[in-house]
């Protein structure tokens, strides 16, 4: 029975798992679970992942969730996955685990909360929260600074001085791609101080093309849609100001 | 050269690593880094862990931080660590990774933020934040509920239906032990609905005695100290009320 990957490509860890499967030619079936339609909280999906989060996989009778655990499992179980993704060398592996653990409470927390509280909250039926956004921004900047100065310290193009990407590169870059839905000026303000981070993102994209771009299509569409909404809102504000100035 | 473990026993992930070493008779030197004296932000410690967090280890020339990554490394590298701590079976290992990943943004986030914002903030030079505490409480309750109904679903005494503890049991129970510094009534209110969780905590303590108790001594001392402070503050409030009623 083919590996099933339950995913919503709007979710960054879902994208990391799908890209990993495609790049490594793992034969899988993608089962779309649309978060915006609340398909992740149905009783059917609870059978797959009782925590109701994406991504999740079913491999034969084996069920698993949490994207880092999934990436490690796929790298270890599927033959043909190149060693650089999750090296058998215990020291290299330990360092990758360290980056992945760090990710949870740092880059992920900062990026998710910032994007939610500046942009996506209304789409989730929540109010925008400027204070939460300000706190998340601090975590995000501190995380980017640590990626630049600690994880990208070596001479290699990838995290931990590697010359080829690991699952940590893929996971963290997919996280940062979520910033695409921000206002473009804001995204540029956040990323522009971090030259190494920008180059590493490019290198990770290049190492996983064409799958990287294909899997991110949905995000670029969402970006265009959100830009239109912003433009309409700005035009409407301008019109109000014009009318008010004539009264 | 002996393994060095940089730790502050007031930090729950530090305790998990120390207990793991002791239970598995790993020969190590504990280097105390006192967070209350801000020793974790010194230039010397930055050489050990550039992220300035505890615990961290130095094994020969190899440096590592993030407690889950450390526990996995120790379980894989040191001979004599029993298989149940981090089984070589890839399916069991994947499930343990899943629990450990889940821990970061759920139990850990809820417990750390709740304890900080109801109790420890003043000791860290921060104000108590009731709103943040209320939000953390939701995450904490949801996490406890998921431990009870998902991770402790099986018939075994430990997480994932195991009959012997894994590094996930140790990590999560050390996290929950941090609730000891709360007011005892509040701790009881939080834990009492979760009977399986309470039994599992006891079972994990029993499986790692006498080291579990010994390594937690500092926490019990802090608990006593905080109780005295609370009592004095209550007595002083009572005195004020008495005096006010006589005026």
Contact between chains at A101 and B68 (C-beta distance less than 8 A):
yes
Q: Which residue of B has its CA nearest to A132?
A: B132
Contact between chains at A90 and B68 (C-beta distance less than 8 A):
no
Which tokens is A151 given?
């994880």
Residue range A3-81 forms a domain whose CATH class is alpha beta
Interface test with B, best of A89, A90, A97 (most B CBs within 10 A): A97
Contact between chains at A105 and B109 (C-beta distance less than 8 A):
yes
More reliable by pLDDT, A90 or B237: A90
For chain A, where do the domains classified as CATH 1.20.1050.10 start and end? 85-211+216-222
Measure in Å the smallest separation between the Cα of A245 and chain B Cα atoms.
42
Q: Report chain A residues whose CB lies below 8 A from the CB of B90.
A: 73, 76-77
B65, B77, B146 member nearest A98 (Cβ): B65
This complex has an ipTM of 0.94
Q: What pLDDT sits at residue B63?
A: 98
Under the banding of pLDDT at 50, 70 and 90, the label for residue B234 is: confident
For chain B, where do the domains classified as CATH 1.20.1050.10 start and end? 85-211+217-222
Q: What pLDDT sits at residue B247?
A: 65
Contact between chains at B97 and A149 (C-beta distance less than 8 A):
no
Contact between chains at B62 and A91 (C-beta distance less than 8 A):
yes
- Distance (Å) of CA B157 to CA B24, B86, B192: 20, 16, 18
Q: What is the residue whose two structure tokens read 């839905």?
A: A181
| CATH for the A85-211+216-222 domain, from 3.30.530.20, 1.20.1050.10, 3.40.30.10, 3.30.990.10 | 1.20.1050.10
Interface test with A, best of B41, B57, B61, B66 (most A CBs within 10 A): B66
φ and ψ at B87, to 5 degrees?
Answer: -55, 145
Give me the tens of pLDDT residue by residue for chain A, a chain 247 residues long.
Answer: 899 999 999 999 999 999 999 999 999 999 999 998 999 999 999 999 999 999 999 999 999 999 999 999 999 999 999 999 999 999 999 999 999 999 999 999 999 999 999 999 988 888 999 999 999 999 999 999 999 999 999 889 999 999 999 999 999 999 999 999 999 999 999 999 999 999 999 999 999 999 999 999 999 999 999 888 888 877 777 777 777 777 6
| CATH for the B85-211+217-222 domain, from 2.40.340.10, 3.30.530.20, 2.40.30.10, 1.20.1050.10 | 1.20.1050.10
For chain A, where do the domains classified as CATH 3.40.30.10 start and end? 3-81
In whole angstroms, give the CA distance from residue B1 to residue B88. Answer: 27
Measure in Å the smallest separation between the Cα of A31 and chain B Cα atoms.
20
A52 three-state secondary structure: coil
B64, B98, B109 member nearest A64 (Cβ): B98
Cis status of the peptide bond prior to B68, with omega within 30 of 0 = no
B50 close to B106: Cβ distance less than 8 angstroms: no
What pLDDT digit, counting tens, does each position of B16-70 carry? Answer: 999 999 999 999 999 999 998 999 999 999 999 999 999 999 999 999 999 999 9
Q: What pLDDT sits at residue B123?
A: 82
Out of A44-53, B206-215, B237-246, which region has the weakest mean confidence (pLDDT)? B237-246
């Amino acid at each position: 029975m083919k590996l099933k990957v339950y995913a919503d490509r709007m979710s960054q860890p879902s994208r990391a798992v799908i890209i990993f499967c495609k790049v490594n030619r793992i034969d899988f079936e993608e089962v779309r679970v649309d978060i915006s339609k609340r398909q992740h909280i149905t009783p059917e999906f609870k059978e797959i992942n009782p925590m109701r989060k994406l991504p999740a996989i079913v491999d034969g009778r084996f069920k698993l969730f949490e994207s880092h655990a999934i990436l490690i499992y796929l790298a270890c179980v599927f033959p043909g996955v190149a060693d650089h993704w999750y090296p058998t060398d215990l020291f290299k592996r330990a360092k990758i685990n360290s980056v992945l653990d760090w990710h949870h409470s740092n880059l992920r927390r900062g990026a998710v909360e910032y994007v939610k509280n500046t942009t996506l909250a209304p789409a989730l039926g929540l109010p925008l929260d400027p204070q939460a956004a300000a706190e998340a921004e601090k975590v995000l900047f501190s995380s980017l600074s640590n990626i630049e100065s600690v994880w990208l310290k070596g001479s290699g193009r990838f995290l931990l001085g590697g010359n080829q990407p690991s699952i940590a590169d893929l996971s963290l870059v997919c996280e940062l791609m979520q910033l695409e839905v921000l206002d473009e000026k804001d995204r540029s303000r956040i990323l522009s101080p971090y030259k190494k981070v920008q180059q590493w993102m490019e290198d990770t994209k290049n190492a996983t093309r064409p799958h990287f771009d294909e899997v991110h299509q949905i995000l670029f569409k969402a970006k265009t849609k959100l830009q239109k909404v912003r433009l309409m809102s700005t035009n409407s504000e301008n019109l109000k100001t014009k009318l008010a100035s004539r009264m």
